Structure 1
Amino acid sequence: MPKAAPLSENALVQIVDEATAICAVPAPTFAESQRAALVQELLAAAGLAAQIDAAGNVVARVGGDGPALALVAHLDTVFPDLTTIPIVRNGVRLTGPGIGDNALGIAAMVYVARELAQTPPSRPVLFAASVGEEGLGDLSGVTALLDAEQIRALIAVEGHGIDCLAVGGVASMRLRAEFSGPGGHSWSDRGRGSAIHALIEAGERALAAAPPAAFNIGVIEGGTTVNAIAQSATMVIDIRHGDPRIVDAARVRVERALATALPGDVSVEVTLVGNRPGGSNRPNDPLLEAARAARTAVGLGIADEIFASTDANAAFARDIPAVGIGITRGDFAHREDEWIAVPPIALGVASLLELVRRLD
């Protein structure tokens, strides 16, 4: 196959402008509808009949009916606020919460949709801007998509990670541990069990019990005021590893650690609130071969092949070939000062389009 054509400067400007516009529209997990409406408009302007499905995903198709190659870019961000998000351009950088994760991924997907609308593929391609990828969304959008559609392969499009290919999925479990105690006055009832104190001590035990799985306490809530013994306290825990069996075993140890050595008047209830599957492709799956070749064709170097946590996880769990593709370089994902570099976007999007062409 001949060397892929580079993106034009006008195409790059359009992608950056659309990524900026997408990022400015807030999309917390479970509240993605404003951003979904914008993406539906962009896909419609590209000439596709885009619909919002029952789960809240924006879905469009080219190339007719039948099992499709799915390009999936998630709509949601980790930021809970519903106010407009400011994006700052400083030379070759764009800075703003969610600009790389995943406003740029959506803009790249829209660009490929626009190209395929003009020169349709011979086999079906499905475009989906998915809900519920982040946090406790638990891959709800892509799971609903896989339930509803026949998918022959899936590409998860992310803004960050141009130097990597996600060839496997990191499994994760999310637990909510709720501690309850009698409460009371910090002086006159001193000695009573505190739900917050119990949480802190249990968190230390759980942290020590989790390895070799990765362990993170992402949220802690509890108490009412400084001079009251806390009646209740909650933490939300994330346990991860590339091997789902290690995650399962770590969950058992963590739950045991949370319930061990509590004060007699404090109790804990642990609930599973998220279970993101892991998995991987066969080492020489044609999808991976095509992804490697697409990078070479546009002038990108050999990628680090990694396990990651993306919408591709849901496909791995169903033995559907999948890969995660990044569009540029950047840093500080899941922080308000997240940034991406503009120049590599041209190669990242060209590689994505080339991969789609090779899979036709």
Structure 2
Amino acid sequence: MSLSNASIVRLTNSAILKNARDAINKDDIINSAIRIQQIAAPTFAEQARAEYIQSLFRQLDLENVEMDDVYNVYGWLPGEYADAPALLISAHTDTVFPIETNLAVRNEGEQIYGPGLGDNSLGVAALLGLIEIFKNTGIPHEANLCFVANSREEGLGDLGGMRGVIQKLRDKVKAVIVLEGMALGRIYHAGIGVRRYKLTVTCPGGHSWLHFGGSSAIHSLMQFGSDLCKIEVPSVPRTTYNIGVIGGGTSVNTIASEAFCYIDLRSEDVESLQNLEQDVMSIADRLAREDVNFHFELVGNRPAGAIPIDHPLVRLAVDAHEAIQMKTELDGGSTDANIPLSEGIPTVCVGVSYGGNAHRLDEYIETAPIELGMWQLMLLTTAASNAISTW
């Protein structure tokens, strides 16, 4: 039996942890997630949701509760030793949905549908539930626990919330656990590199009849997209590209003088990502003409980082899942974990339940696994807090 497995087994058999497990209330977690989800929180506009969470942190009697200027909310639960390193547990508050989105939810058996409910209102609700259980049951923990509801994880937020968190707490935090609502069974121990660009194409334009044959920004951008789709990328290390947003033009009978798109480039490998970037840039160089200009603006840079699968934090996460008789998949992804991993801080991202249709209006969570998801989270947090001083 490994040391990590032995640690988890001891915790599952302890009277205090058994009481803590009995304190898990699935309905409370679900209702909390829905209350959070009902407060719109598009990336960069998380203030209302952050203020609500800040009030709950204070109600839960955390210490040093504060909110910074990008709407990250912090709260501390001191450990047994004042000088012990800190374990950071985080969940992002922002969503991909515009402020005007209809946030109505509906129940269908053991599934609940609602935009942003799984990504990541359930993760934030699990964070709050974890705090409440630790406070109410007196679970012993050596490390200081720092709970953070952070902003700007999605899209053009570019992990800005977590960047601010790590910049603020870099000297205090020894390890990080990131919560995602719908990632149960997956353990992200690696952050893939992501580069995002806004590409703007400009040219003189003109009238669709009088200046037919002249350069069109939209036609040039369409040719760029066509050539992009012909790029061959490796499957190992996995490397991907995507044009996610496109726009431009003035009217149906105008040769467009400007068009733009947003491009998402990803890879598990730094060199492969750099090669993909070069291929993308070379397409624009080849298509550019004297009267057609291609301009790339870097709008997102998510750094890569990883810890090995035999790292104690990864092993604890695996063993916590085994304690709930759940098989795990070790994976890399683009999450808030990228930032601490890129700084050399041991980090895993774990889930609370299953779900589907992320970033769609019919996003849903499965309610049945939530209790087990909370139990594995409790085991992982407790075990990690008692072990990080040795890492």
TM tier relative to shorter chain: over 0.9
The aligned counterpart of 1:187 is 209
The one-letter code matched in structure 1 to 2:193 is A
Could you report, residue by residue, the CA deviation over 1:279-313 in whole angstroms, capped at 9, with x for unpaired residues?
A: 2112311111111121222x232201111111111
Kept after mapping to 2: 8 A contact 1:130/1:141: yes
Kept after mapping to 2: 8 A contact 1:26/1:84: no
Matched, 1:349 2:369: no
Q: What is the rounded CA distance, in whole Å, between the counterparts of 1:146 and 1:139 in structure 2?
A: 11
Matched, 1:110 2:132: no
Matched, 1:166 2:209: no
The aligned counterpart of 1:146 is 166
The CA RMSD over aligned residues, in Å, is 1.7
Alignment identity in percent? Answer: 35
Q: 1:108: how far off?
A: 0.3
Alignment of 1:305-344 (within 5 A): 305-344=330-369
The aligned counterpart of 2:41 is 27
Query: Which consecutive unaligned segments of at least 5 residues does structure 2 have?
Result: 1-9, 386-391
Query: Is the alpha carbon distance of 1:220 and 1:305 closer, same or farther for their aligned partners in structure 2, counting shifts above 3 Å?
Result: same
- Runs of 4+ aligned structure 1 residues displaced above 4 Å come to 6-10
Alignment of 1:203-282 (within 5 A): 203-209=225-231, 211-212=233-234, 213-282=239-308
The aligned counterpart of 2:73 is 58
Matched, 1:37 2:54: no
Q: What is the rounded CA distance, in whole Å, between the counterparts of 1:210 and 1:55 in structure 2?
A: 39
Q: Structure 1 stretch 75-84 or stretch 234-243: which is displaced more?
A: 75-84
Kept after mapping to 2: 8 A contact 1:192/1:265: no
Q: 1:8: how far off?
A: 4.6
The one-letter code matched in structure 2 to 1:289 is R
Matched, 1:125 2:145: yes
The one-letter code matched in structure 1 to 2:36 is I
TM-score normalised according to structure 2 size: 0.88
Query: Is the alpha carbon distance of 1:10 and 1:312 closer, same or farther for their aligned partners in structure 2, counting shifts above 3 Å?
Result: closer
The one-letter code matched in structure 2 to 1:17 is N
Matched, 1:137 2:157: yes
Q: Match of 2:373, SS?
A: helix
Q: 1:80: how far off?
A: 2.1
Q: Structure 1 stretch 116-125 or stretch 311-320: which is displaced more?
A: 116-125
TM-score normalised according to structure 1 size: 0.95
The aligned counterpart of 1:68 is 86
Q: Match of 2:380, SS?
A: helix
The one-letter code matched in structure 1 to 2:120 is N
Could you report, residue by residue, the CA deviation over 1:19-48 in whole angstroms, capped at 9, with x for unpaired residues?
A: 001111111111111111111122222222
Kept after mapping to 1: 8 A contact 2:201/2:259: yes
Q: Match of 2:69, SS?
A: coil
Match for residue 199 of structure 2 among 152, 159, 177 = 177
Q: Structure 1 stretch 328-337 or stretch 243-252: which is displaced more?
A: 243-252
The aligned counterpart of 1:304 is 329
The aligned counterpart of 1:289 is 315
Q: Match of 1:359, SS?
A: helix
Aligned residues: 359
Kept after mapping to 2: 8 A contact 1:330/1:339: yes
Q: 1:83: how far off?
A: 4.9
Query: Is the alpha carbon distance of 1:272 and 1:93 closer, same or farther for their aligned partners in structure 2, counting shifts above 3 Å?
Result: same
The one-letter code matched in structure 1 to 2:321 is R
The one-letter code matched in structure 2 to 1:287 is L
The aligned counterpart of 2:388 is none
Q: What is the rounded CA distance, in whole Å, between the counterparts of 1:101 and 1:137 in structure 2?
A: 15
Query: Which consecutive unaligned segments of at least 5 residues does structure 1 have?
Result: none
Query: Is the alpha carbon distance of 1:146 and 1:114 closer, same or farther for their aligned partners in structure 2, counting shifts above 3 Å?
Result: same
Kept after mapping to 1: 8 A contact 2:188/2:330: yes
Q: 1:264: how far off?
A: 4.2
Could you report, residue by residue, the CA deviation over 1:308-354 in whole angstroms, capped at 9, with x for unpaired residues?
A: 11111101101110001011111110111111100101111111111
Kept after mapping to 2: 8 A contact 1:175/1:238: yes
Q: What is the rounded CA distance, in whole Å, between the counterparts of 1:82 and 1:74 in structure 2?
A: 20
Q: What is the rounded CA distance, in whole Å, between the counterparts of 1:166 and 1:110 in structure 2?
A: 21
The one-letter code matched in structure 2 to 1:121 is H
Q: 1:175: how far off?
A: 0.8
Q: Match of 2:25, SS?
A: helix
Query: Is the alpha carbon distance of 1:276 and 1:210 closer, same or farther for their aligned partners in structure 2, counting shifts above 3 Å?
Result: farther
Could you report, residue by residue, the CA deviation over 1:97-122 in whole angstroms, capped at 9, with x for unpaired residues?
A: 11111000000011111122232633
